[in-house]
Structure 1
């Protein structure tokens, strides 16, 4: 969005971190309504940031996971809702829960590509393997165009051997899919959400903000 690309964020996580991280609250309509068939244009709200719009989340979305699992074609509701966006946005990002439940399956069924953030920690490698398996399953059964769009190393503490080992292993396995820029562990990145701001707005001079800006530029270049 800061690069001038019209962008939509759809928060599909009941924890609503993407919503609060942009300084918004889910008062009124939310992504739950999108799953219920309400038109996208009625749910999108502007944010304080130019070129960035949001469909917020709220805790009640958690109950939708159970309901979706009971509906015929319940894994395709988000795809149907987002089809209304057409060419209105250059980028549509869906923030989804970390587990492979009905909400995440809806996100994968609607997506063209998956961006995978990987913390530079040992257990993240196990989670990454599980996610790749889930992507392959959704691709084979629901969404043949789905692909891994990139792997982003995050919370990298360059002072530790573990971070270096995990980073090397991820780059060895995924090659060019791994973004050149790794996001360092940063106090500013951790503080920013509590102020309702992305780190690029909270402290543009910080190492974390600089890294995320470079990640964004890489993403634009890959698109």
Structure 2
């Protein structure tokens, strides 16, 4: 279903993810609500409390289209992979929605602003910051998500994401991808920019990586039953580092 939506939008010249455009609504409204309630509390301006109420209700409502757009982006651009930033965003977003419900409930039953309400708004603000941080990590943190418009690029991107997901589950216990430092095994940053594999000294190539996985050098565990599809996706991911 998601592919049809993006194909339709592409016909109008829109070739970008949907979720970032929607995030401005709950994020901006949550920030605005905190500013208004802070003014109401510290400057004793009760009318600003009403503005904070309106903003927080709208922020809660805005989470619905934002979450839907996020789901479609996740399926289309990330192949539904549960990467660490995705898990963190999901957890923080769920916490934010629940907290927004609490804030709306408490705001409607209270006639004046209290420190407790101010604290709840502050927690909402912190959750928004956390969601934004991991959103940035998802887009920029591991060089995974250069979104382009051709079907081939989308396919390649999905392969990289699938490889990253496999790496996180099977390889990240022993290897890091953001440096060349040794964890248990060697760091793999810029692996395909090197001439030789670390430790084994085999030439760096897709075939060399396949050999290392199927018949590993030294003490690395064997992945002899790994499918070609997974090897190709892992290769795509390591090439992207």
Normalised TM-score (structure 1):
0.25
More strand by share: 1
Normalised to the residue count of structure 2, the TM-score between the two structures is 0.24
Higher helix share: 2
